[in-house]
C-alpha cells in the first residue's frame, strides 16, 4: 500500500547510455501515472524486474539458464504446445517470457474479504446472499455496511475523546465490469429489506399529516377572523388586534431512508424535515453522478464534501426567503461503477471527496446458480432494531455518544500513527484516503458493534461503548482490506492512455491468436476501443514490445512495397493462454 520502493542500479548510472530494460520502462510509466513514482524517477531510475526470477539472479546463474534454454531447443522453450507446432520456430523466434501483467494494467490483486469480522450471524448471511446472487461476497458486504450506517444515523455517534466524535455514516462503492454481480449483490438489501423498513418508518405518517392539515385549516380560519377584526377596528378607529399564533408549523414529510434524487435542495429539505437520522443515497452509476455534480450548480461538489462530517449546514434558496437549516449534514452513500470509468471519476483536483469512499473491487467468480434464498426476512427483522434507535430528546434532538473503552482508545492511537506512516510513503489520491483512515475506522467500529448487536437474539440494550473487539475488527478491515482496495482502484484510474491501449491490444491478441499484428488491419477492420488511429495502435504495440509480447517491424515490413507495419507475436503466449 505504501509508495513503491525504487531500487537503482549504480552501474546503470555510472555508464552513460546504459541499456534500459524496455519492460521495466513500461512498468515505470504506469507507476508514474499512479502517483507512486515521480516523472523524473521514472525517467532515470529503472525498476527492478518483477516476476522474472532470472533478472534477480547472479549473472553466472543467468548465463547457466541461458545455456540451458539453448540446450532445450525451440519447441521446449515455447512450452511444446499445439500452437507452437502450428508455427515452426526459427532463430528469430526464440522469445523471452512475456509479461502477462499488461492484461490487467499491472493492477494490484484484490485482498480477500475478512468475512469473520461480520460476526457469527451476519458473516453466514453475507455468504448465503452472495451465493443466491451468484456474486462475490464483497458485493453484498459493501451495501450492508452503508445501509447499517444510515439506519444508525444520528441516533449514535462514535466518540474517541471528548473533543472528537464521528457520525456513523459510511460511503461505499463497488467496482466491476457489467455482469460481475454488482447489482445482484445489493438486490436483497435495496429491493427487499430496506423498502420494508422504510414502510415501517412511515406507519404513523398518515395520522400526523391529518393532524397537521386540521391545524393548518384552523390557522387559516383564525387568520381570516383576525383580518376581519382589523378591518372593523380600522372603521371604528380602535387599535388593531394582534395576529393569532401560528399553530400548524411546517408540513410533515413522509419519513425517508433511501434517496435517489440527489439535487441539493431536495436532499437538504429531506434532511431538515423527513430524515433526522440521515439518508442513504443510492447511485447505481457513481461516475456519472460525481462527474456531473457541478454541471448545474457550481457549489454542488462542495455540498457533498460537507455531507460527510455531520456539521450544521445552511442552504440558501433563490425563490424562498427562508433558508434550509440542517442541524447535522451527513448521509450514507452506496454506489457502483465500472473499471473503464475510474479515470473519468478521478480526473481533476483532489478535494477530498473520493478519499471518503471505501472501495470494493473483487475478482469475478464463475457463475453458479444458488440453491438457497438470501434470508431477506431475517435481515429485515435484525436491521429494524437499528431503525428503532432514536436521538436524545431536546430542541433539536442530539446524538447519543458511544465512547471507546480505554483499551480501544489506545488501539486507535496506535492505528492513527500507523496510517500516518503509510501516508508519508504514498502519493496522490491514496495519500488522501489514508489520511481519512482513522476517522473511518472509528465510524466502522461503531457500525460493527451495532451490526453484531442487532443480529443477536434477545432484548439486550444497544451497546453503550465501543469495545476493543469492535475497534480491532474495524482497524483490521481498514488496513488489510479497504486500504489495499484503494490502492487497486487509484492505481488503475491513473493508468495512461498508452498503458490502457496496450491492455486492449493484449486482450485482442489473446482472443484472436494472430501470428502478426498489422497496424493497418487493426485500424481499418478491427477497430478496437481506444485504438482508432495509427498512432494509438503503434503506441500500444510499442508498449507490448517492451513487455515482450511483440517484436517491432523489420525494415522490410515497415518500408516494403505495400508499406505494411506488422509486429511479430511472441509464440510463448500460447503456453499460458487460457
In order, the DSSP letters of 59-128 are HHHHHHHHHHHHHH-HHHHTTS-HHHHHS---GGG--PPP-GGGGGTTPPPPPPP-GGGGHHHHHHHHHH
Q: pLDDT tens digits, residue range 410-438?
A: 999 999 999 999 998 888 888 999 999 99
**Which residue(s) pair with 517 in the sheet?**
567
Instruction: Between 19 and 522, name the one with better pLDDT.
Output: 522
Residue 123 lies in a domain: no
Q: Is the pLDDT of residue 396 over 60?
A: yes
User: How far is the C-alpha of 314 from the C-alpha of 422, rounded, in Å?
Assistant: 36
**Which residue(s) pair with 568 in the sheet?**
516, 551
- Taking the whole predicted model, whether its pTM rises above 0.75 is answered as no
pLDDT at 451: 98
pLDDT at 90: 53
Q: Is the pLDDT of residue 155 over 70?
A: yes
Residue 468 lies in a domain: yes
Tell me phi and psi for residue 368, to 5 degrees: -150, 130
pLDDT at 299: 80
Q: pLDDT tens digits, residue range 236-290?
A: 888 888 888 877 677 777 888 999 888 888 899 899 888 889 999 999 888 888 8
pLDDT at 87: 52
Q: Is the pLDDT of residue 160 over 90?
A: yes
Q: Is the pLDDT of residue 310 over 90?
A: yes
Q: Is the pLDDT of residue 79 over 70?
A: no
* Least confident range of 125-129, 323-327, 340-344: 340-344
Spatial contact of 74 and 572, defined as CB atoms under 8 Å apart: no
**Which residue(s) pair with 569 in the sheet?**
550
pLDDT at 366: 93
pLDDT at 1: 43
pLDDT at 577: 59
Strands 566-569 and 516-518: antiparallel
pLDDT at 52: 36
Residue 183 lies in a domain: yes
Instruction: Between 511 and 279, name the one with better pLDDT.
Output: 279
User: How far is the C-alpha of 378 from the C-alpha of 490, rounded, in Å?
Assistant: 36
User: How far is the C-alpha of 485 from the C-alpha of 437, rounded, in Å?
Assistant: 13
pLDDT averaged over every residue in the chain: 81
Q: How confident is the model at residue 43 (pLDDT cuts 50, 70, 90)?
A: very low
Q: Write out the residue range of the structural domain in which residue 309 sits.
A: 132-202+254-493
CA end-to-end span of the chain, whole Å?
30
pLDDT at 564: 62
Q: Is the pLDDT of residue 19 over 70?
A: no
Contacts of 261 (CB under 8 A, 6+ apart): 267
* Least confident range of 130-134, 150-154, 175-179, 221-225: 221-225
Q: Is the pLDDT of residue 382 over 70?
A: yes
Q: How confident is the model at residue 150 (pLDDT cuts 50, 70, 90)?
A: very high
Q: How confident is the model at residue 341 (pLDDT cuts 50, 70, 90)?
A: confident
pLDDT at 292: 79
CA-angle at 220, arms to 215 and 222, nearest 5°: 90
Section 347-355 average pLDDT:
84
Residue 294: give its domain's CATH number. Answer: 3.40.50
On the 0-12 / 13-18 / 19+ scale of CB atoms within 10 A, 363 is exposed
* Least confident range of 63-77, 153-167, 209-223, 527-541: 63-77
pLDDT at 319: 77
Q: pLDDT tens digits, residue range 184-207?
A: 999 999 999 999 999 998 877 777
Q: Is the pLDDT of residue 373 over 80?
A: yes
Q: How confident is the model at residue 93 (pLDDT cuts 50, 70, 90)?
A: low
Residue 455 lies in a domain: yes
Which one, of 170, 179, 115, lies nearest residue 146 by Cα? Answer: 170
Q: How confident is the model at residue 494 (pLDDT cuts 50, 70, 90)?
A: low
Residue 262 lies in a domain: yes
Q: Is the pLDDT of residue 370 over 90?
A: no
Q: pLDDT tens digits, residue range 293-303?
A: 877 777 888 89
Residue 268 lies in a domain: yes
Q: Is the pLDDT of residue 80 over 60?
A: no
Q: Is the pLDDT of residue 38 over 50?
A: no
How many distinct structural domains can be found in the chain? 1
CA atoms within 13 A on the CB side of 330: 27
**Which residue(s) pair with 566 in the sheet?**
518
Instruction: Between 338 and 261, name the one with better pLDDT.
Output: 338
Which one, of 300, 258, 263, lies nearest residue 275 by Cα? Answer: 258
Supply the DSSP symbol for 51: S
Section 542-571 average pLDDT:
76
Q: Is the pLDDT of residue 92 over 70?
A: no
User: Three-state DSSP class for 357?
Assistant: strand
Residue 226 lies in a domain: no
Residue 51 lies in a domain: no
Section 153-180 average pLDDT:
96
Give whole-number Cα distances, 232 to 219, 221, 223, 224, in Å: 20, 17, 14, 13
Give whole-number Cα distances, 456 to 71, 122, 382, 385, 460, in Å: 67, 10, 8, 10, 9
Amino acid at each position: 500500500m505504501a509508495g513503491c520502493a525504487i531500487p537503482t542500479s549504480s552501474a546503470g548510472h555510472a555508464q552513460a547510455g546504459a541499456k534500459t530494460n524496455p519492460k521495466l520502462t513500461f512498468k515505470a510509466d504506469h507507476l508514474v501515472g499512479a502517483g507512486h513514482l515521480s516523472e523524473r524517477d521514472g525517467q532515470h531510475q529503472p525498476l527492478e524486474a518483477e516476476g522474472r526470477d532470472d533478472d534477480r539472479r547472479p549473472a553466472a546463474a543467468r548465463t547457466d539458464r541461458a545455456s540451458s534454454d539453448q540446450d532445450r531447443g525451440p519447441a521446449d522453450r515455447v512450452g511444446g504446445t499445439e500452437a507452437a507446432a502450428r508455427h515452426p520456430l526459427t532463430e528469430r523466434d526464440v522469445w523471452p517470457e512475456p509479461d502477462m501483467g499488461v492484461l490487467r494494467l499491472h493492477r494490484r490483486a484484490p485482498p480477500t474479504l475478512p468475512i469473520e469480522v461480520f460476526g457469527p450471524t451476519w458473516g453466514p448471511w453475507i455468504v448465503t446472499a452472495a451465493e443466491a446472487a451468484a456474486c462475490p461476497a464483497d458485493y453484498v458486504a459493501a451495501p450492508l455496511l452503508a445501509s447499517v450506517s444510515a439506519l444508525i444515523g444520528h441516533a449514535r455517534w462514535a466518540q474517541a475523546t471528548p473533543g472528537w466524535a464521528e457520525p456513523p455514516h459510511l460511503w461505499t462503492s463497488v467496482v466491476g465490469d457489467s455482469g460481475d454481480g454488482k447489482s445482484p449483490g445489493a438486490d436483497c438489501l435495496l429491493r427487499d429489506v430496506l423498502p420494508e423498513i422504510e414502510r415501517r418508518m412511515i406507519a404513523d405518517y398518515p395520522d400526523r399529516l391529518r393532524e397537521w392539515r386540521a391545524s393548518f385549516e384552523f390557522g387559516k380560519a383564525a387568520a381570516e377572523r383576525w383580518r376581519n377584526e382589523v378591518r372593523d377596528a380600522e372603521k371604528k378607529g380602535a387599535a388593531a388586534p394582534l395576529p393569532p399564533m401560528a399553530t400548524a408549523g411546517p408540513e410533515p414529510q413522509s419519513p425517508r431512508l433511501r434517496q435517489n434524487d440527489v439535487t441539493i435542495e431536495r436532499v437538504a429539505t429531506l434532511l431538515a424535515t423527513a430524515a433526522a437520522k440521515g439518508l442513504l443515497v443510492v447511485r447505481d452509476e457513481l461516475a456519472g453522478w460525481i462527474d456531473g455534480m457541478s454541471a448545474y450548480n457550481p457549489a454542488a461538489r462542495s455540498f457533498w464534501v460537507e455531507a460527510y462530517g455531520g456539521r450544521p449546514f445552511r442552504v440558501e434558496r433563490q425563490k424562498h426567503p427562508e433558508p434550509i437549516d440542517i442541524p447535522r449534514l451527513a448521509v450514507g452513500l452506496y454506489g457502483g461503477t465500472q473499471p473503464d470509468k475510474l479515470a473519468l471519476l478521478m480526473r481533476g483536483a483532489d478535494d477530498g471527496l473520493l478519499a471518503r469512499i471505501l472501495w470494493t473491487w473483487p475478482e469475478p467468480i464463475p457463475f453458479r446458480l444458488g440453491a438457497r434464498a438470501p434470508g431477506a426476512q431475517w435481515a429485515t427483522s435484525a436491521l429494524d432494531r437499528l431503525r428503532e434507535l432514536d436521538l436524545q430528546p431536546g430542541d433539536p434532538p442530539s446524538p447519543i455518544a458511544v465512547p471507546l473503552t480505554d483499551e480501544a482508545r489506545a488501539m486507535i492511537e496506535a492505528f492513527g500513527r500507523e496510517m500516518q506512516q503509510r501516508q508519508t510513503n504514498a502519493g496522490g489520491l491514496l495519500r488522501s484516503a489514508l489520511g481519512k483512515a482513522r476517522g473511518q475506522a472509528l465510524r466502522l467500529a461503531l457500525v460493527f458493534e451495532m451490526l453484531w448487536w442487532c443480529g443477536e437474539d434477545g432484548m439486550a440494550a444497544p451497546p453503550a461503548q465501543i469495545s476493543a473487539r469492535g475497534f480491532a475488527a474495524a482497524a483490521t478491515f481498514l488496513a488489510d482490506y479497504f486500504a489495499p482496495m484503494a490502492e487497486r482502484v487509484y492505481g488503475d484510474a491513473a493508468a495512461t492512455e498508452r498503458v490502457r491501449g496496450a491492455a486492449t491490444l493484449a486482450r485482442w491478441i489473446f482472443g484472436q491468436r494472430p501470428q502478426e499484428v498489422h497496424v493497418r488491419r487493426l485500424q481499418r477492420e478491427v477497430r478496437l476501443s481506444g485504438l482508432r488511429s495509427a498512432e494509438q495502435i503503434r503506441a500500444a504495440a510499442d508498449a507490448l514490445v517492451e513487455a515482450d509480447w511483440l517484436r517491432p517491424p523489420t525494415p522490410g515490413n515497415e518500408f516494403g512495397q505495400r508499406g505494411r507495419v506488422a509486429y511479430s507475436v511472441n509464440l510463448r503466449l500460447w503456453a499460458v493462454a487460457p
